[in-house]
Amino acid sequence: AIRLSIDGVASHFPILNRPLPNGKRTIFLDSGASAQKPKVVIDKEREVQEEYYANAFRGRYYFGQRIDDAIESTRQATANLVGAGRPDEIVFTAGTTMSINMVASAYGDKNVRPGDEIVITELEHHANFVPWQALAKRRGAKLRILPITNDGLLSNEAIESTINEKTAIVAVTSMSNVLGTLPPIEKITHLAHQCGAVVLVDAAQSIPHQRIDVVKSEIDFLTFSGHKLYGPTGVGVLYGRYDLLTEMDPFMYGGHMISQVGREESNWALPPAKFEAGTMPIVQIVSLGAAIEFVNAVGLDVIGKHEHSLLQLAHQRLTEIDGLTIYGPQPDNKGSIVSFSIQGVSSEDLAIRLDEAGIFTRHGHHCAMVLHERLGVPATTRASIGMYNTTEDIDELARTVKSAVKQLRV
């Protein structure tokens, strides 16, 4: 396998190597929203369309065979990435949001009964919140929201007092997109399984930073998006335990997901085809394979370590700033995201100042309104770190925040 050094890895990302219209260098600190793409991913999209593009699973000709092989090779690489036992446990979707909706409908509508409980947490992104709220309403079930501690953690007491015999599904993030919190997934899966519940893990944020193993951690469903893993938009993944995928109803009906269609009745193909109705995001799936290969070449462990040292530096430098509050756990206990607010400074004004300096962060509620309500702030500024960030990026962030605060504070 090819190895790539993390030093200078930014040179593989064309967008980071062009000056901005104002002449500044791009300091991209919004990878939590969507990561930039390495050249190999961009090249792969072009290669597919220039050299062997065709619809998938339909054509018995040269292009069709190459496309089918390329899609199955991404499926295998994805299975390896998450530790799935077999590639047909990997369903390609449009993204995390679709994957979660698929489980809420295709598993939830069939298995959740009136009086059951669905457990989520205060940390969840709206994508792992609203589908469960809607399912609970449809099925007459109760939605229970695991509270966080003041440090943004999930305590054992909260977990143990919320998951019980009535729990049908637990849906939890493996890394908060606001606080960086890393919930204790194995503790949750063990307890949920003792109670006869299944667990969905929303790995949208953790997947580019941290190895996850669905078998070792006994995860029933796992979801993520290609675009946060340095891959294209429009493609996502649902890992499902094979027996659960087999038992689930289809989510969408159409071409490719059937085995036999009659005038009155039809029956379904085996997973994963059963959940892949219609023409798939072919180019994006193949290019996601290139993204996974790239991440593997740098090494998830190396990436995680690099980002962690930047996270520590960010905490150190930002806490020096007067009136600045960082939300959530200490850096040793979280993934590489820093969300903060500054007394007397609006997060929007700050974002504008940062933008002028070429520093791209995000401000607002980050699709986590319930969490911000819990934190007691309407909006935060979020810097999320990717493999291409450097100590200079973090220094520049801290320096610019410091000087912006002097000018902006009311």
List interacting residues with ligand PMP (CB under 6 A). 33, 95-97, 125, 127-128, 173, 177, 202, 204-205, 225, 367
Nearer to ligand PMP, 202 or 293 (CB): 202
Peptide bond into 183 cis (omega under 30): no
Question: Smallest Cα–Cα separation from 288: which of 102, 104, 35, 115?
Answer: 35
Min CB(13)–ligand PMP separation in Å: 19
Nearer to ligand PMP, 79 or 94 (CB): 94
Nearer to ligand PMP, 81 or 204 (CB): 204
In the numeric block, the tokens 């009535």 are attached to 166
Nearer to ligand PMP, 20 or 367 (CB): 367
Catalytic-residue membership of 195: no
Nearer to ligand PMP, 225 or 361 (CB): 225
Min CB(353)–ligand PMP separation in Å: 24
Alpha carbons 361 and 94: distance in angstroms, whole number: 25
Min CB(71)–ligand PMP separation in Å: 20
Under DSSP, the state recorded for 324 is E
Q: What is the DSSP track for 170-212?
A: EEEESS-TTT-B---HHHHHHHHHHTT-EEEEE-TTTTTTS--
Alpha carbons 6 and 295: distance in angstroms, whole number: 10
353 alpha-carbon distance from chain centroid: 28
Pull the structure tokens for residue 391. 């100590």
Question: Smallest Cα–Cα separation from 277: which of 61, 60, 106?
Answer: 106
Nearer to ligand PMP, 67 or 178 (CB): 178
Min CB(229)–ligand PMP separation in Å: 10
From residue 72, give the alpha-carbon distance in Å to each of 269, 286, 290, 340.
16, 9, 13, 42
Non-local (6+) Cβ contacts of 408 within 8 A are 344, 345, 346, 349, 350, 353
Min CB(253)–ligand PMP separation in Å: 22
Min CB(241)–ligand PMP separation in Å: 20
Question: Smallest Cα–Cα separation from 313: which of 393, 234, 222?
Answer: 393
The catalytic residue among 195, 367, 379, 408 is 367
Indicate which residues carry an active-site annotation: 367
